[in-house]
Amino acid sequence: MVIPSYNEADSIAHPTRVVSEGLRKHFPDRNSVIINVDAASPDGTEAVFLATETEVPKIYITTPEDTSGKGWCLANGFRRAYSLGARAIVCVDADLISITPEWIDYMATPILEHGLDYLTPLYSRHKYDGTITNNICYPLIYGIFGQDIRQPIGGDFALSGRLAGHLVSVPWHRTTHQYGIDIFMTMQALLGDFKIAQVGLGSKVHKPSAPKLGPMFVQVVSTALLTVADTFQRWKSITSVAETPIFGLKELAPAQDLEVDRATIRRNAVEGFHAGVDALREYLTPGVVGRLEKTFAQADGPRIDTDFWVDVLFDVIAAFPGCEDPIRLVESMRGLYFGRVFSFMNETWELTSAECEGPIRQQGIQVFQRRGELIQRLESRGSGHV
């Protein structure tokens, strides 16, 4: 078990206890250990973790004080688990409230008994939760890498020792060492032809992600788009979308309620667009920039429907090969992302969370159906990445 953390002294004890209970209940005859991979938390996370009573041995690992990031923490965990000869590695967030002992069974058993290498979570989520997943990561995984994985950056996942060894052996982008680690793992599992499944876990209840959303957006999207650009020669030949088997819970409880402020989302969109418009003019095609300027100038705008959003995504991806400052490019995209979220809210305001799964899936379908356009553009730019 691996639990990454940063300043989780007020929350890490609960998942640690539940993890220990799950290991003893479902895997009493197997050797197991709980590893807290910390980012030099100054709030006493280490002391709380080590003081939590468990029947399973615990190990605490930290990054140097001048090094932080979820990816750094997980790299430490993967290396230690691999060195211990772990067959299955289950990772859960340190702020989890909804975790149960059964999660450990659902996540570890497919690795141990069915020969799988990577499991991503399936949660019941509010239609406006997970907006980076819904509007960027899911469409890219579905439409470019050809795999229907609903939560490719869910935070709680399981992997084989074989995949852990692979992950620490391949090159990482700088943002992979931060919040980009989750999407990087999913993409690497796909690119390496590892055996992948999803696991139904029910509802996920944890601390609000809003305080992390700013850096999370840049780090996740940068890692995703850099990986897409770097691996063009490997994914361009994909011709179909594979369904992903599901273990664990098959029926998920209704999603939790979520307070949503459309006015704030729109304000973030407009402010972000104006802050990044100079970079957008530099990197994107004039046609797309002109349409963006027009819709962001409208009193009831922006209006970025699915088709227009795919145009934006393809423009950004096509700009990545040879881009000298990819972080600036992604930063300029922030307002467009909020604009798509605002538009999606307006399109689906009267729909239930379950009914919104159709429009979310349609974004992935659109990327896949139009992927030929993107391939042609990348080939015309002479993208030679492998």
The whole-number pLDDT of residue 207 equals 61
- Helices 101-114 and 13-26, interaxial angle, to 10°? 50
**Beta strands, E only, 92-236:** 118-124, 157-160, 196-203
Q: Report the percentage of the chain scoring pLDDT > 70.
A: 96
* pLDDT given for residue 386 in this prediction: 39
Least confident of 101-110, 134-143, 204-213, 302-311: 204-213
- Tell me: domain 2-248, CATH 3.40.50.1980, correct? no
pLDDT at 385 over 50: no
Per DSSP bridges, beta strands 118-124 and 157-160 are antiparallel
Average of per-residue pLDDT across 310-320: 97
What pLDDT band is residue 383 in, cutting at 50, 70 and 90? low
- Centre a 10 Å sphere on the Cβ of residue 238 and count the other Cβ atoms it contains: 17
pLDDT of res. 211: 45
**Model confidence over 114-137: pLDDT tens digits?**
999 999 999 988 999 999 999 999
| 305, 295 Cβ separation under 8 angstroms | no
Q: Give pLDDT, residue 205.
A: 74
- Tell me: pLDDT of 208 over 80: no
More confident site: 32 or 98? 32
Mean pLDDT (the chain) is 95
Q: What angle do helix axes 262-283 and 334-348 make, rounded to 10 degrees?
A: 140
Is the pLDDT at 70 greater than 80? The verdict is yes
User: What average pLDDT does range 159-171 have in this prediction?
Assistant: 97
* Mean pLDDT for the stretch of residues 140-159: 97
CA dihedral sign of residues 281, 286, 288, 289:
positive
Distance CA 265, CA 337 (A): 10
pLDDT at position 361 is 98
For the chain, the structural domain boundaries read 2-248, 262-352
pLDDT of residue 366: 99
State the pLDDT at residue 66.
87
Q: Are 254 and 214 in contact (CB under 8 A)?
A: no
pLDDT at 206: 60
- CA of residue 30 relative to chain centroid, distance: 30
The angle subtended at Cα 69 by Cα 67 and Cα 72, nearest 5°, is: 75
The answer on pLDDT for 221 being more than 70 is yes
Q: Running DSSP on this structure, what letter comes out for residue 120?
A: E
The pLDDT assigned to 109 comes to 98
- Range 37-61 average pLDDT: 98
Which amino acid is present at 329? L
